[in-house]
Amino acid sequence: MQNNLSNPQPLLLKMLGEIEDYAILFLDRHGNVGSWNKGAEKMKGYSSEEIIGLDFRVFYTEEARKNRIPDLLLEEALLKGKVQHRGWRVRKDGKLFWAHVTITTIYDDDNEVMGFSKFTRDLTDKLNAEKALKEYARLLEFRNKELEQFVYIASHDLQEPLLTVNNFIGLLRKDYGELFDENGELYLKYICESTEKMKYLIKGLLDYARLGAPAPRERVNCNFLLETLKLELSEKIAASGLTIEYDHLPEVYGYAAELKQLFHHLISNSLKFRKKDVLPKIQIMATEDDQYWNFDFSDNGIGIEAKYKEKIFSIFQRLHSHEDYEGHGIGLSHCKKIVELHGGEIFVKSVLNQGSTFCFSLKNNVPL
């Protein structure tokens, strides 16, 4: 062992020869291959018997050879001691791969050039990932522009006919109200209620579309957030007899307005689907793991059938008629989008007639 350590060159060559993630080879002064490791064989497709002694220019495309890229790299390595380059290289089967190459000049004890070491890393997967990311960013920009156009249309073009209908209903009642019998008045009432419902649906759709619009992230104290909501919902809470229990909830890093909406929708959902003749109760808990704050938002309401546990998070999905419960199936879809905006997930655990627990996670990362 001592002899091996006193002359480490054979051991080093053996170690380099076993490396598979990098193609490592040595070239003589003219660029002929002098050694070949397992990584080179795996990356380029040649066995050592096939390639040793051949010109390293065989790894370059015809265009690169025509532009003297291999020669220029050796010349720069001689001048500067080392050169790095990225470009297309050619495998034995003719397929191209994107390579990061480092060529270093090697000198002997008399400071004479012996040749070059050449380390090559295959970056094809990284290049493809970067291309996919750029394409995703391009599509995202396109979708955002479409969303902006949609928001404009929904804010103006879709609202305008509803205003027109309401205006004409007012004119009908003013100018011809005495001509309507009981059924006529009932029909007008239905028209008014339908236009109001449509206005609410459009507003809900706009709110949903605008979620995630650029805004600064900040530290949000969930205890303070809930105290604020309790004040804002004090009339509904008092009328229903709702109690909300929580203690030592965390401070999270996120979008304050959206997080407030999240808790507001969950409280409103519990109030809406409470049991008759039972005082509603909400319990909120939070635990932390390596990456997330995990919240459990439990109520003692009517619960949800298992087959609907995923459906409830889709926009405009309703499980009950308007006569039984008001609403338009928007709130929980907002919750899902807000949680996903914060890098988390949301799901529900529920037994029919035994209440529901909405479980959601929020990334606990904070700025450095």
Same domain, 233 and 329: yes
Same domain, 241 and 345: yes
Residues, the chain, total? 368
Token pair 């969950």: residue? 266
Same domain, 10 and 64: yes
In this structure, what token pair is assigned to residue 355?
A: 């209440």
* Beta strands 251-254 and 218-221, pairing class: antiparallel
Same domain, 251 and 312: yes
Same domain, 224 and 330: yes
pLDDT tens figures, 4-23: 544 445 555 555 556 667 89
pLDDT tens figures, 225-239: 999 999 999 999 999
Q: What mean pLDDT is predicted for residues 98-124? A: 93
Which residues make beta-bridge pairs with 83? Answer: 103
Same domain, 305 and 181: no
Mark which of 210, 235, 252 sits at the end of a domain: 210
Burial 170-206 (b: 16+ CB within 10 A, else e): eeeeeeeeeeeeeeeeeebeeeeeebeeeeebeebbe
pLDDT tens figures, 283-337: 999 999 988 999 999 999 988 888 878 788 876 555 544 554 464 557 788 899 8
Task: Answer whether residue 368 is part of any domain.
Answer: no
pLDDT value of position 20: 67
3-class DSSP assignment, residue 262: helix
Task: Answer whether residue 140 is part of any domain.
Answer: no
DSSP state, 319?
A: S
Task: Answer whether residue 62 is part of any domain.
Answer: yes
**pLDDT category of residue 347 using cuts at 50, 70 and 90:** very high
Same domain, 118 and 162: no
pLDDT value of position 321: 47
Task: Answer whether residue 164 is part of any domain.
Answer: yes
Task: Answer whether residue 306 is part of any domain.
Answer: yes
Q: From the CB of residue 280, how many other CB atoms can be counted at a distance below 10 Å?
A: 21
Same domain, 195 and 326: no
C-alpha to C-alpha distance for 237 and 219, rounded to whole angstroms: 27
Across 40-44, 98-102, 135-139, 149-153, least confident range: 149-153
Nearest to residue 76, comparing CAs of 84, 88, 65?
Answer: 84
Task: Specify whether the CB–CB gap between 60 and 69 falls below 8 A.
Answer: yes
Percentage of the residues of the chain whose pLDDT score is greater than 90: 45
pLDDT value of position 30: 92
Task: Specify whether the CB–CB gap between 345 and 361 falls below 8 A.
Answer: yes
Task: Answer whether residue 133 is part of any domain.
Answer: no
C-alpha to C-alpha distance for 30 and 19, rounded to whole angstroms: 25
Same domain, 222 and 352: yes
* Domain hosting residue 226, numbered range: 218-363
In this structure, what token pair is assigned to residue 22?
A: 């990098």
Domain CATH number, residue 87 = 3.30.450.20
CA–CA–CA angle 179, 185, 190 (5° rounding): 145
Domain CATH number, residue 296 = 3.30.565.10
Mark which of 122, 147, 175 sits at the end of a domain: 122
Task: Answer whether residue 275 is part of any domain.
Answer: yes
Residue 212: is its pLDDT beyond 90? no
pLDDT value of position 1: 43
Same domain, 206 and 222: no
Q: Classify residue 267 by burial, with Cβ atoms within 10 Å: 0-12, 13-18, 19+.
A: buried
Residue 214: is its pLDDT beyond 70? no
Task: Specify whether the CB–CB gap between 56 and 31 falls below 8 A.
Answer: yes
Q: How many structural domains is the chain composed of?
A: 3
Same domain, 244 and 339: yes
More confident residue, 156 or 202: 202
Burial 20-38 (b: 16+ CB within 10 A, else e): eebbbbbbeeebbbebbbb
Task: Answer whether residue 188 is part of any domain.
Answer: yes
Same domain, 79 and 53: yes
Q: What does pTM read for this prediction?
A: 0.52
Q: Which helix (H) or strand (E) is 207 found in, with range?
A: helix 182-210
Across 55-69, 214-228, 305-319, least confident range: 305-319
